[in-house]
Structure 1
Amino acid sequence: MKKFLSLSVAAVLALSMTACGSKAGDTQNADATEKSSSNAKYTVGICQLVQHEALDAATKGFKDYLTEKLGDDVVFDEQNAQGDSATCATIVNSFVSKNEDLILANATAPLQSAAAATTDIPILGTSVTDYATALDISDWSGTTGRNISGTSDLAPLSEQAAMLNELFPDAKNVGLLYCSAEANSQYQIDVIKEELEKLNYTCTAYSFVDSNDIASVVQSAVNDNDVLYVPTDNTAASNTEVINNIAGEAGVPIIAGEAGICKGCGVATLSISYYDLGYQTGKMAYEILVNGADPSTMEVEFAPAVTKQYNPDICEKLGITVPDDYKALDMSE
């Protein structure tokens, strides 16, 4: 009887620990498994900053490639930080304690947390705009020189500025809307501001700290500008409904840095495929895991192609007609 009670208590404790772990890291996938409890050759820890379309697609592409190549020889310990940097640190530290074979850091905050957590386990980033900014590397050469590489989601900012000019040549004032807590958003704003000023626009930056102050910041931006630009920004991506409600009501169009944001609140974007980006990162992971490639010498890679896309619903609402070479976003996805 004592033995039965002991086993029951142990089971309850195990279930409680599992529930707490899920709440803290919000494990997304039922196949999250430690290598010690499986016969897989490789365990890959995935830390995704927040759930939204672009990051979800990158994670899926990454997993699809490795699963195609390795089948049951790879398992994924997949967790979502729900937009919290402190949770990113908790998640990647758990990966380190489990001695995972590789860590995928999906977005900048997970990359920074992983970089702080280990100098030994290979780390690949994806959906990261600028690695030099994220990792504070002053003499960027295309490689990190440490246990980190990955893929960048940066679409050419000069071409994004040209797109804004193509669609809104008569506009005078452009509001640059971004989250100040995201270093890569600041980088994009600095670059595109310079590009837009070359085209004779007057640019003003409007930063929000998090979702709590985004509505008031957007309202200020739409009051004073003809067009808004929103870069690839995870906080903005999670709050497109708020942005659209304010900008759409005011009739102020938005050029977005990526397709997910454009679907929620933009009129047009120079888009990459985040699925393809994640798939490409999966190829890099395979080279590290199976062929022993050294991430310190692997160049950060970029999306293979960009596409001009537009949001047909918002364009119709605002009375905007785009050129023939723009492709309509699939709003059903």
Structure 2
Amino acid sequence: MKNSTKKLPFLLLGMSLLLAACGGGETSTDQTEDKGSDAAQEGTTFKVGITQIVEHPSLDAATDGFKTALTDAGLEVEFVEENAQNDQSMNTTIAQNLVNEGVDLIFANSTPSAQAVKGATSDIPIIFTSVTDAVGAELIDSMEAPGGNVTGTVDLHPDTIANTVKFLKDELGAKKVGTVYNTGEQNSVAQVQQVKKLAEEAGLELVEAAVSTSAEVKQATESLVGQVDSLYIITDNTVVSALESVIEVANANELPLMVGELDSVKRGGLGAYGFEYYDIGYEAGQMAVKILKGEGTPSEIPAAYPANLKLLINKGAADTLGLEIKESWNAEVHE
């Protein structure tokens, strides 16, 4: 009994130290848990900023897809949504305003939007979509390992331009292809450089017309008439926002118009190898869900290419040109 009495203080001291250690471990875990985990458990509402460079159907569809992915995941979200209407000054202001709002995550829809928000914050997670060359735009280090606070989905499948150039030559008999684009959009410059390289390899000549605003699109397209036998409009936000002007000129001069996105086919372009912008917006939203739930960070989530590439042909445009839609094209037809 005497020996047990002597051991008691030491036992009590050991138990106290053990409890303190356990308590310290719990405190440390609480401090390192991110807001996503806490909010997912407690039903906290997230504040998510959305910045889009301009309104047009493809970008609008991507934003819809992004928002749907978050609501499908059961998250409570307050969206702070802004559109720059293709005004670069406003684009920069929106980026800073979203940072000042203290949002939990920013969705940047377009290359200029993503570049602006990256320049405004290195702390808030950023998910982009509708970006053509994320590495060239200096948004990420690589597709596989983005690094930093940015990741997302690009809007150019690796085979899109190659397939389109081949279609222009082999199926439309093109020799001189005209394109209109905004030289101030990095994603557009990257695409045109690729088109030019592939066109030259295929023995085609690319004739370029540059614009800086949507108001210049019709005149720039008209300047190509007489110089080219077909047109190819890439995923340039400035030009696509005024696509009806291009379609009007193309139809009036019986020029086949290949475009860079399926929504532009539905608006009157002849055809495109593309995908649904809603889908890449939705996939970007799924990335955002992981981040908000604390299941990953932008640096850990690889950026992604569009998954499903298909050829869509506008029947009305084909009929106007007297063009037969061949079975060998394996195309979907928009009536």
Q: Which amino acid aligns with 1:152?
A: V
Distance 1:255 1:274 in 2: 17
- How high is the TM-score relative to the length of structure 1? 0.83
Q: What is the CA-CA distance between 1:231 and the residue it aligns to?
A: 0.4
Do structure 1's residue 195 and structure 2's residue 185 form an aligned pair? no
CA contact (8 A) 2:108 2:127 kept: yes
Aligned equivalent of 1:213? 216
Do structure 1's residue 105 and structure 2's residue 135 form an aligned pair? no
Distance 1:271 1:107 in 2: 17
Do structure 1's residue 65 and structure 2's residue 58 form an aligned pair? no
Aligned equivalent of 1:50? 54
Do structure 1's residue 271 and structure 2's residue 274 form an aligned pair? yes
Aligned equivalent of 1:284? 287
Aligned equivalent of 2:148? 146
Distance 1:171 1:160 in 2: 11
Q: What is the CA-CA distance between 1:256 and the residue it aligns to?
A: 0.5
Aligned equivalent of 1:12? none
Q: What is the CA-CA distance between 1:265 and the residue it aligns to?
A: 4.1
Aligned equivalent of 1:232? 235
Aligned equivalent of 2:24? none
SS state of the match for residue 223, structure 2? helix
Give aligned pairs, total: 290
Percentage of matched positions with identical amino acids: 34
Aligned equivalent of 1:259, options 257, 262, 267? 262
SS state of the match for residue 317, structure 2? helix
Report which of the two structures shows the higher radius of gyration computed on alpha carbons.
2
Distance 1:150 1:222 in 2: 38
Distance 1:302 1:313 in 2: 30
Counterparts of 1:150-189 in structure 2 under 5 Å? 150-155=152-157, 156=159, 157-168=161-172, 170-189=173-192
Aligned equivalent of 1:7? none
Do structure 1's residue 329 and structure 2's residue 331 form an aligned pair? no
SS state of the match for residue 151, structure 1? strand
Aligned equivalent of 1:24? none
Counterparts of 1:54-93 in structure 2 under 5 Å? 54-71=58-75, 73-93=76-96
Q: What is the CA-CA distance between 1:252 and the residue it aligns to?
A: 0.8
Q: Which amino acid aligns with 1:180?
A: T
CA contact (8 A) 2:169 2:175 kept: no
Q: Which amino acid aligns with 1:266?
A: G
Aligned equivalent of 1:243, options 241, 246, 251? 246
Distance 2:227 2:65 in 1: 40
SS state of the match for residue 69, structure 2? helix
CA contact (8 A) 1:181 1:210 kept: no
Q: What is the CA-CA distance between 1:136 and the residue it aligns to?
A: 6.8
CA contact (8 A) 2:312 2:334 kept: yes
Q: Which amino acid aligns with 1:329?
A: H
Aligned equivalent of 1:122? 125
Say if 1:136 and 1:178 are closer, same or farther in 2 by CA, change over 3 A.
same
The unaligned stretches of length 5 or more in structure 2 are 1-38
User: Aligned Cα RMSD in Å?
Assistant: 1.8
SS state of the match for residue 213, structure 2? coil
CA contact (8 A) 2:212 2:238 kept: no
Q: Which amino acid aligns with 2:332?
A: K
